[in-house]
C-alpha cells in the first residue's frame, strides 16, 4: 500500500512539474507580448483572420470551393482553419464541420472534403491577436440551438468583449473558447429567439458589440454577411453561376472563378436566400474607418478593397517615398512580399532601376515553428537570402512595409551589406508605429514599438542603415483612394472607437 501511495505521489509530482513548466512558458510568452502557442513573427505583426462563405442555390456541395477560397486567404491566418457546411433542404441540425491547427492543405484532404456535403457553408483561417492559439479557438463556430444550426466566422477584434462575456456568463452562458467570436455567436443565438429572423438577430447583436468585425453567418436557410459600421475589416460579395459568395478579399473570388459583385458596405447586413440578396443599411453611421494597413501590408496585391486596387496603393506609397525621401542610389529593391510593389513605385518615380535582391523561401509562412529560443539560425535568414550579384558594390534603396521592434530590419540591412552593398537606404511604406491596435492588427503596446522611444535618426543607427525615411502620415489617404475614411490609430493615436482602458488582447487566457 505504501509503495502504491509513493508511486501516486511521484506521478502527481511529475504532472505538477509539467503543469508548472507550461505555466512558466505561457508567462514568458505573455511578458514578451506574444501569448499564443505558435511563435510570433519577428515583426510582431499579424492579422486576425480571413472569412469565406458560400450558398449554392442549385443545391450543389460547396466545401471544395470554400477550401480553395480559404487557400487564397491563407496569408490572413496560418495558425488554424476550418469549414462547416449544412444542407438547406435537410434537418435543421445537420451540419458537418472539419477544423484544426495548421495550414489549409494540412487540415483538409480529398477524403475530408468529400464527406462534407452541404449547399451552404462557412470557412475561416485564423491568426490570433486575442485568444490563445489552441484547437478550441479554431473557427467557424457551430452552435446547435432551438432554431437549428448557427455557423459563425469572424474577422476582427471587439473592444467590449470582456464586459459582454461577463454579462453572458452571469446569465448562465458557458463558453468553450477564449475568443470574442463566441461572444458574437452567443448574442446572435440569443437574439434569434426574439428577433424573428436571423438577419434581425445579427442586427440586434451588432447594436451591442463594439470594435472591428466582418461576419459570415450561416443559418439553416440563409447566408448572412455583416460589416461593422466603421468598415475596419474588408468583406465582399461574389457570384458563380447560381451560387453567392462572401469573402474577406476579392482574390478569393478569382480563385474559384466567381465574379466580383460588390463590397459589403460599412454597417451593412446582407442576407442571401433563395430569393436573392437583401440589404439592411440601418447600422451604417456614415463615419468609415477602414484599416489602412490592409493596403500597406495585409491584403494580397491582386485584391480590390472598397474599390481600390491594393497593388496600386503600394505603388502610390513607393512614389510618395521617392518624392519625400529621394536617395542617390544604383538600385531599388523590395522586401518580399508587400515591399515589392512599393519598391516598383519608388523606382518609377525616381528613375532608379528596380531589382530583385532577395530570394524567399516559399515554404516558410509569416509564422513558423522555431525549435528553441537559443537556436542559432536567424528566422529572417531562413525566410530570405540576398542575391550577392545584384547588390554587390551598389548603393541600395531597400523598401519595406514597416518597422515594429527593429530586429528584422536590422538583420535584413546587415544581410545586404554582408552581400556587398556599399550603402543601404531604408524607406518604409508606412508611418512610424507609435500606438497599439485593438481592432484585429497585432501591433503591440507602445513600449515595445521602436519608434515610440526613439527618433528616426536613432532608429536609422539601430538598424544599421545609411538613411531612413517613413511615409508621411498626412499622405496616407492617397493609398486608400481618397474616398472613404480610414483608420490610422496605430500611427496617430486617434482611435475611431474609444479603446479599452487596458490591453484586452489575450485577456481571456490569463
Q: Taking a C-beta distance cutoff of 8 angstroms, is the pair 128, 158 a contact? A: no
| Spacing of C-alpha 322 from chain mean position | 29
**How would you class 334 by CB atoms within 10 Å of its CB: exposed for 0-12, middle for 13-18, buried for 19 or more?**
buried
Return d(Cα 63, Cα 38) in angstroms, integer: 27
SS3 for 372-431 is CCCCCCCHHHHHEEECHHHHCCCEEEEEECCCCCCHHHHHHHHHHHHCCCCEEEEEECCC
- Which position among 49, 81, 251, 487 bears the catalytic label? 49
Helix or strand (DSSP H, E) at 301: none
Under 8 Å CB-to-CB from 30, ≥6 apart: which residues? 506, 509, 510
- The yes-or-no answer on residue 49 being catalytic is yes
| Spacing of C-alpha 286 from chain mean position | 25
Return d(Cα 164, Cα 155) in angstroms, integer: 18
Under 8 Å CB-to-CB from 510, ≥6 apart: which residues? 30
Nearest 5°: phi and psi at 371?
Answer: -55, -45
Q: Catalogue the active-site residues.
A: 49
Amino acid at each position: 500500500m505504501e509503495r502504491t501511495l509513493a508511486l501516486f505521489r511521484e506521478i502527481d509530482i511529475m504532472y505538477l512539474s509539467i503543469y508548472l513548466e507550461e505555466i512558466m512558458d505561457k508567462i514568458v510568452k505573455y511578458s514578451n507580448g506574444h501569448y499564443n502557442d505558435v511563435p510570433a513573427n519577428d515583426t510582431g505583426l499579424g492579422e486576425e483572420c480571413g472569412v469565406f462563405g458560400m450558398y449554392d442555390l442549385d443545391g450543389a456541395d460547396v466545401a471544395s470551393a470554400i477550401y480553395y477560397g480559404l487557400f487564397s486567404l491563407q496569408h490572413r491566418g496560418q495558425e488554424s482553419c476550418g469549414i462547416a457546411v449544412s444542407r438547406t433542404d435537410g434537418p435543421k441540425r445537420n451540419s458537418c464541420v472539419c477544423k484544426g491547427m495548421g495550414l489549409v492543405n494540412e487540415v483538409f484532404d480529398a477524403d475530408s472534403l468529400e464527406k462534407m456535403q452541404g449547399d451552404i457553408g462557412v470557412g475561416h483561417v485564423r491568426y490570433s491577436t486575442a485568444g490563445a492559439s489552441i484547437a478550441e479557438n479554431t473557427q467557424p463556430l457551430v452552435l446547435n440551438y432551438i432554431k437549428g444550426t448557427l455557423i459563425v466566422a469572424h474577422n476582427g477584434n471587439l473592444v467590449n468583449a470582456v464586459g459582454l462575456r461577463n454579462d453572458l456568463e452571469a446569465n448562465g452562458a458557458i463558453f468553450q473558447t477564449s475568443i470574442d467570436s463566441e461572444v458574437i455567436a452567443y448574442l446572435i443565438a440569443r437574439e434569434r429567439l426574439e428577433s424573428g429572423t436571423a438577419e434581425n438577430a445579427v442586427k440586434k447583436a451588432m447594436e451591442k458589440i463594439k470594435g472591428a468585425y466582418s461576419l459570415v453567418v450561416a443559418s439553416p436557410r440563409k447566408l448572412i454577411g455583416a460589416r461593422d459600421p466603421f468598415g475596419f475589416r474588408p468583406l465582399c460579395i461574389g457570384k458563380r453561376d447560381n451560387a453567392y459568395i462572401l469573402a474577406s478579399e476579392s482574390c478569393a473570388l478569382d480563385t474559384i472563378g466567381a465574379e466580383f459583385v460588390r463590397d459589403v458596405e460599412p454597417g451593412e447586413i446582407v442576407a442571401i436566400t433563395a430569393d436573392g440578396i437583401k440589404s439592411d443599411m440601418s447600422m451604417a453611421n456614415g463615419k468609415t474607418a477602414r484599416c489602412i494597413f490592409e493596403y500597406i501590408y495585409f491584403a494580397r496585391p491582386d485584391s480590390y478593397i472598397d474599390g481600390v486596387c491594393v497593388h496600386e496603393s503600394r505603388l502610390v506609397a513607393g512614389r510618395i517615398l521617392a518624392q519625400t525621401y529621394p536617395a542617390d542610389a544604383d538600385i531599388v529593391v523590395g522586401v518580399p512580399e508587400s515591399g515589392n510593389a512599393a519598391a516598383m513605385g519608388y523606382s518609377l518615380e525616381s528613375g532608379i532601376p528596380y531589382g530583385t535582391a532577395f530570394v524567399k523561401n516559399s515554404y516558410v509562412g509569416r509564422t513558423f515553428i522555431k525549435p528553441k529560443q537559443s537556436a542559432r539560425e536567424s528566422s529572417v535568414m531562413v525566410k530570405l537570402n540576398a542575391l550577392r550579384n545584384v547588390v554587390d558594390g551598389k548603393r541600395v534603396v531597400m523598401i519595406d512595409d514597416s518597422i515594429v521592434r527593429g530586429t528584422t530590419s536590422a538583420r535584413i540591412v546587415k544581410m545586404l551589406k554582408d552581400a556587398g552593398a556599399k550603402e543601404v537606404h531604408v524607406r518604409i511604406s508606412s508611418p512610424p508605429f507609435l500606438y497599439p491596435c485593438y481592432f484585429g492588427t497585432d501591433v503591440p503596446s507602445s513600449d515595445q514599438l521602436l519608434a515610440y522611444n526613439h527618433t528616426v535618426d536613432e532608429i536609422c543607427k539601430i538598424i544599421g542603415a545609411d538613411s531612413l525615411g517613413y511615409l508621411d502620415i498626412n499622405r496616407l489617404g492617397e493609398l486608400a483612394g481618397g474616398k472613404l475614411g480610414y483608420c490610422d490609430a496605430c500611427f496617430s493615436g486617434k482611435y475611431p472607437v474609444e479603446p479599452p482602458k487596458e490591453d484586452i488582447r489575450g485577456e481571456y487566457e490569463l
